[in-house]
Amino acid sequence: MLAKQTLDLIKRRRTSRYFDKYSEVNKQSLERILEAAIWAPFSIYQLQGWKFIVLTEKARDQAAEIILEDPTVLKYIRVMYENTSWGEDDKSWLKLIEDFGKDLGGAPVLVVALALHDPNKHHRRHNIASLWCAAQNMLLQTSAEGLDSGIISFISDKMEDKLTKFLGYDPKEYFPAYVLNIGEAQKTPDIVPREKKDVIIFKSE
Ligand SMILES: Cc1cc2nc3c(=O)[nH]c(=O)nc-3n(C[C@H](O)[C@H](O)[C@H](O)COP(=O)(O)O)c2cc1C
């Protein structure tokens, strides 16, 4: 039974982009979500030198403002809808992008994941990969708590440095790998169907 329930939980999770800012995320749920993060597999190059910074209220609003200085935050959503069949018929996503640009989706909680800088490119990749394992753990635990989540990625060094400094860390030591939105969604996003053909390949000889 657990096998089926786990798969159902994985399939039920969606990336939400429109939250109720005043939805309640109770402390126990949030603690379990962060506990799920630190139980992700981690690579030996960073060990447990990662950081998960939970932002609420004023700190959340200030961070959201900084993150939105990176235009790729909105560009990601635009490219996603422009290049996929899910955006074709209904142009309501244009309004979604506009709203997202005002308050980063409006979730009451943001979790910023900080990775350790490492001059070695391969080690750095491991550090980022470990954080993404933690991301999936948090997303699934969020679903299990009856809450919704969203992923925010970015590619501006300038913004990343500013966010790291705002969080009280040295940008020479840490950089943000992603930010998660956590709260109750006001809109449920469409399910994006997953391809199986030529994606999952079994080989026995
Ligand atoms: C590496 C990575 C980066 C992502 N960055 C963003 C992002 O910046 N903004 C966003 O809205 N969603 C982002 N997503 C979420 C994907 O767009 C989303 O998972 C995909 O569209 C499938 O939708 P679903 O999660 O609802 O099944 C990201 C996902 C991954 C794995």
Domains and CATH numbers, the chain: 14-185 (3.40.109.10)
Residue 15 Cα, ligand 1 centroid: separation in angstroms? 6
Instruction: Please state, in angstroms and rounded to a whole number, the distance separating the CA atoms of residues 149 and 137.
Output: 12
Instruction: Please state, in angstroms and rounded to a whole number, the distance separating the CA atoms of residues 52 and 113.
Output: 5
- pLDDT computed for residue 93 by the predictor: 84
pTM above threshold 0.85: yes
**Does residue 109's CB lie within 6 angstroms of at least one atom of ligand 1?**
no
- Binned at pLDDT 50, 70 and 90, residue 89 comes out as low
Span 97-124, average pLDDT: 96
Residue 200 Cα, ligand 1 centroid: separation in angstroms? 20
Please check whether residue 176 is in contact with residue 114, taking contact to mean a CB–CB distance below 8 angstroms: yes
The residue contributing the CA closest to ligand 1 atom 14 is 151
**Does residue 111's CB lie within 6 angstroms of at least one atom of ligand 1?**
no
Tell which atom from ligand 1 comes closest to the C-alpha of 84: 21
**Does residue 151's CB lie within 6 angstroms of at least one atom of ligand 1?**
yes
**Does residue 15's CB lie within 6 angstroms of at least one atom of ligand 1?**
yes
Residue 177 Cα, ligand 1 centroid: separation in angstroms? 13
- Binned at pLDDT 50, 70 and 90, residue 142 comes out as very high
Instruction: Please state, in angstroms and rounded to a whole number, the distance separating the CA atoms of residues 102 and 48.
Output: 34
3-class secondary-structure state, position 28: helix
- Binned at pLDDT 50, 70 and 90, residue 170 comes out as very high
The residue contributing the CA closest to ligand 1 atom 27 is 14
Instruction: Please state, in angstroms and rounded to a whole number, the distance separating the CA atoms of residues 194 and 197.
Output: 9
**Does residue 79's CB lie within 6 angstroms of at least one atom of ligand 1?**
no
Kindly write down the DSSP assignment for every residue of 159-174, as one continuous string.
HHHHHHHHTT--TTTE
- pLDDT computed for residue 143 by the predictor: 98
Q: How many CB atoms lie within 10 A of CB 56?
A: 14
Q: How many CB atoms lie within 10 A of CB 85?
A: 9
**Rounded percentage of the chain residues whose pLDDT exceeds 90:** 87
**Does residue 9's CB lie within 6 angstroms of at least one atom of ligand 1?**
no
Which has more confidence, 90 or 115? 115
Mean per-residue pLDDT over the chain, rounded: 95
Which has more confidence, 121 or 84? 121
Instruction: Convert the pLDDT of each residue in 175-194 to its tens digit.
Output: 999 999 999 999 888 898 99
Which has more confidence, 88 or 49? 49
| Token pair belonging to 65 | 């403002």
